[in-house]
Amino acid sequence: MSEATCLFFLCSPLSEPPLLVKILTNPVSAFIPEFRPSLTRREPSISNFKAGKELPVVLLFILAVATNAVAQSGVGTGGSKHSPTSRFASYEGRILCGYQGWFRAAGDGSDGGWGHYGSRGRFDPDHCTIDIWPDVSEYETTYATDFKLEDGTPARVFSSRDASTVDVHFRWMKQYGIDGVFMQRFFGVTRSPRSRREGRIILGNALRSSQKHGRAISVMYDLSGLKPGEDCSSVIDDWKELVDEMKLTSQGEDQTYLYHRGKPLVAIWGIGFPDRPYDLREIGIEKLLDFLKKDPEYGGCSVMLGVPTYFRDLETDCVGDPYLHEVIEQADVIMPWMVQRFTSLLHNELERYGNHIQADLSWCKQRGVDYVPCAYPGFSWFNLSRHEFDGRHPLDQNPRQKGAFYWGLLSTAIQSGAPMIYVAMFDEVDEATAIFKCTDHPPQNQPPSRFLTNEGVPSDHYLWLTGKAAEVLRGERELDKNLYQETEH
């Protein structure tokens, strides 16, 4: 009998209650109707079995097959809809990246124009919102733009909506030893069944590619877009759909959804930032945390919160409300958002970064919360700022320095005792924080748009550095502070 057949037999509604329930509650009487457990200590009378070793052997065989079939099916225990374990049982010892997956192209079937490449659905020199250009040489499907390369041909880009594109990204993760990604899921996506379905296209492609290439995947809800008067209820509805319809956390014991502390890890980003239009006390965050951690079917999760860099002091980039600390103490992990908080332009920044991480680790340890520092390769939003802010920001605001800044952050985080690291981001070319392959030969500058080059380093330089940092984090190689200078890889 195959495991699939066995599982159907065990769980079949033709048996009331299902045989599996009988096995788990009383394994002997489930198969031997004549046997009834006694309240007194005496030998059972079983007419259908001869005395000897047959019964224990048969029961052990049945229970073994049932247990394995249940594990493979992803059926949890105690009513939980999550698999009891994952191929990625903990975040510790791993480096994961944020993954936006929000780029759209005219003609990709999304009917939204050039999403996140340009403003108002357009992508031309007057509407461009990206500062660094992706290397598209390995993509199966690309789209011509109004920008021109040096040879006069149209510059091309990818769409995150294409499954083949997502698969290339996960193939790179495997090739370079990057553990996986947090899939960004913005609050606006959770508002309606229609938007949730559209949002599941990218997530579904990523889930399949994570399984194909053996990379970890987790959902990160971004509360950006939450309006005054709204609460987090739609996130609860969305999580239920992901669990029920996508089977996100019930792929069996070999599943690729990231677990931490033995539970599925769900991240919520945007807690405690003063520029949000909502009051942290009024969005139902404790209700959401209680659901994710305690709901008998959909809960039992570990929760990671994305918080400001200066969450400890409740100042600078953080709200001054001590309620934030109460919320943090209900979480399992926190990840302070450090993009733009440290710069490659000051000589003592790595020391300040390391001291900050050590103080954060100490604070979190006292409260039983795990800690993930954030690293990023550089930052630039010259083109984006023309559309989203009143004043311009300079091109190459936080220079990459051919990997020196990024490798410095990664190395310092590891030396400071960080057990795991979050990289911002895998694919974000809007703010030029992408670590995936970017070209050293972007389109010619067509004012008012301008683009960064890759400073002469290989297009895979930042993927390679990320994978090497993961090896150092796990103790698989010695730390070399000058590794970023290697360009033959």
pLDDT band at 76 (very low <50, low <70, confident <90, very high): low
pLDDT for residue 388 = 85
Examine the pLDDT at 309 and tell me if it is beyond 60.
yes
CATH superfamily of 95-485: Glycosidases (3.20.20.80)
Q: What average pLDDT does this structure show over 406-429? A: 98
Under a CB-based contact definition with an 8 Å cutoff, are residues 408 and 360 in contact?
no
Examine the pLDDT at 20 and tell me if it is beyond 90.
no
Examine the pLDDT at 55 and tell me if it is beyond 60.
no
> Of 137, 129, 170, 172, which is closest to residue 156 (Cα–Cα)?
137
Domain layout of the chain by residue ranges: 3-73, 95-485
| Percent of the chain whose pLDDT exceeds 70 | 84
Convert the chain into a string of H (helix), E (strand) and C (coil): CCHHHHHHHHHCCCCCCCHHHHHHHCHHHHHCCCCCCCCCCCCCCCCCCCCCCHHHHHHHHHHHHHHHHHHHHCCCCCCCCCCCCCCCCCCCCCEEEEECCCCCCCCCCCCCCCECCEHHHCCCCCCECCCCCECCCCCCCCEEEEEECCCCCEEEECCCCCHHHHHHHHHHHHHHCCCEEEEEEEHHHHCCHHHHHHHHHHHHHHHHHHHHHCCEEEEEEECCCCCCCCCCHHHHHHHHHHHHHCCCCCCCCCCCECEECCEEEEEEECCCCCCCCCCHHHCCHHHHHHHHHHCCCCCCCEEEEEEECCCCCCCCCCCCCCHHHHHHCCCCEEEEECCCCCCCCCCCHHHHHHHHHHHHHHHHHHCCCEECCEECCCECCHHHHHHHCCCCCCCCCECCHHHHHHHHHHHHHHHCCCCCEEECCCCCCCCCCCCCCECCCCCCCCCCCCCCCCCCCCCCHHHHHHHHHHHHHCCCCCCCCCHHHCCCC
Top pLDDT among 387 and 179 is at: 179
Top pLDDT among 485 and 62 is at: 485
pLDDT for residue 78 = 60
pLDDT band at 42 (very low <50, low <70, confident <90, very high): very low
Examine the pLDDT at 122 and tell me if it is beyond 50.
yes
Examine the pLDDT at 391 and tell me if it is beyond 90.
no
477 phi, psi to nearest 5 deg: -155, 160
Examine the pLDDT at 24 and tell me if it is beyond 90.
no
pTM, whole model, 2 decimals? 0.85
Examine the pLDDT at 222 and tell me if it is beyond 80.
yes
Residue 155: alpha-carbon gap to chain centroid = 30
CB atoms within 10 A of CB 67: 12
pLDDT for residue 283 = 97
